[in-house]
Structures are given as structure tokens and as C-alpha cells.
Structure 1
Amino acid sequence: MKSEHRARADFLRELRLFVRELYEFGDFTCTDPDRAMLEAKINGFIEAGLLIEVVSRDDMQKVIDECHVAIFSETRAERRDRINSAKGLGSVGAGDDEALTDWDVYDSPAFDRAKGSKSGGS
């Protein structure tokens, strides 16, 4: 059985690989379905890590932020603000992400959304 230290290091290393792969697809503006699948996989991986308490949310966030800077050469907040400014949305604070979320996509049941994405339509 692995020590807690080894399990934590292994988890963060795997997370780093997943996140770098995700960011190589592009940022939050990317609509590639493969990116969406990888993002879902990462979210599940993160939830599993939190559930078994192998790492803290802060540790995972540090890895995500480091990967973002390594790939995009700017922080997540800087990139989001720059992209939103270019779209005419202005600067968005850390707590304002919800203001930009298109919640209409979640009006249909998850099963129907998953079915629609597999067939290429929505």
C-alpha cells in the first residue's frame, strides 16, 4: 500500500497530465467535444481525490493554475478577462463566473443532453 505522501504525489502528477492535455485543446472557449469529455473526466478525478481525501482542493487548484500559466503564459483570471474584454463583456471577477454561464443548456435532462452530444446535435 502506498504512503499518503506517495499517493498525494501520484495523484497530483496524474492531475497535472490531465490538465495539461485539457489546456492543449484550448481554454474555456473551445467547443471540441473531446475537450468536454476530458473536462468531465478531470472533474470526476478531482471529486474522487476529494472523496478519498488524498489531496486538498487548494492543492489541486495550484496544479491547475500552474498548468494554465505554463500553457497560456497568463493566469486563468487574466485570460478570462482578456477574452471577455475582446467579446465586449468586460472584466469578470472570481465570483462572477455564473453571470457568463448559459444555464439554458441544462434545461433538458442530462440523459437527453448526453444523447444529443453523441449524435452531433443538441
Structure 2
Amino acid sequence: MRNLLAKYLHRQIKIVYRYNIIAMEINMSNFEIAARQLASLYGKSFGGKSNGRYRLSSKQLREMLGRKRLYENDIEQLTRAALEAGLVLINMDSFFVVLSANTFVNYRRLSGEALSVAMSEQ
């Protein structure tokens, strides 16, 4: 009897969990959903690499967002959603590049002195 009750409760918890996930995705914008898809692709193996940075065409991005055209505002909203997901989306005009935001953490920092020297050389 105890085992049967545990199975029943487990099944009910799974149903509630699935419902909450579906409800959460309904409340998410197309941009947030697309950013999640971009993040998922970042971790997948394709193009000869196990994971990591990749590029996608404007057409692929339009398909992902379910749009016929991409406007500047669309790209801006997707860029923000991607940043929230830990990704950087770079518009290269004819295609887009997806990188991890952590890629930039270890870049060298520009010092004030180096900036002053570079500006005085002009």
C-alpha cells in the first residue's frame, strides 16, 4: 500500500512539474525561447566540434524566431535574451556568431596609460 501511494505521488509530482515547465514556456517571449535554443545548440556536437561557438545565417535565425524579416529591434531583444542565458550574439550582417560570455572574462584589460599613449599617437 505504501509503495502504491509513493508511485502515485511521484506520478502527480511529474505531472505538476511538466505543467509548470509548459506554463513557464508559454509565458516566455519568442526571444527567450530562441536564446534557450541557442544555448542548447552551444552545448551540442556539430560541425566537427563537440561544443562551443558557432555561426548561423540570418535565415536560420528568422526561422528560429518564426519571422519573415528581422528588424533591428528583434536582434536587440534576442541579444539581450542571449546575454541573460550567458551567450553573446554578434551580428556580422550576413550571419550571426554565438559565443559564451565567459570567453571575454580573461581578456586583457586596457590600462589608462595605454589608452593615453594610443590617443596621443594620433
Question: If the TM-score is normalised by the length of the shorter chain, which range does it land in?
Answer: 0.3 to 0.5
**TM-score after normalising by structure 1:** 0.34
**TM-score after normalising by structure 2:** 0.34
Higher percent of residues as strand? 2
Higher percent of residues as helix? 1
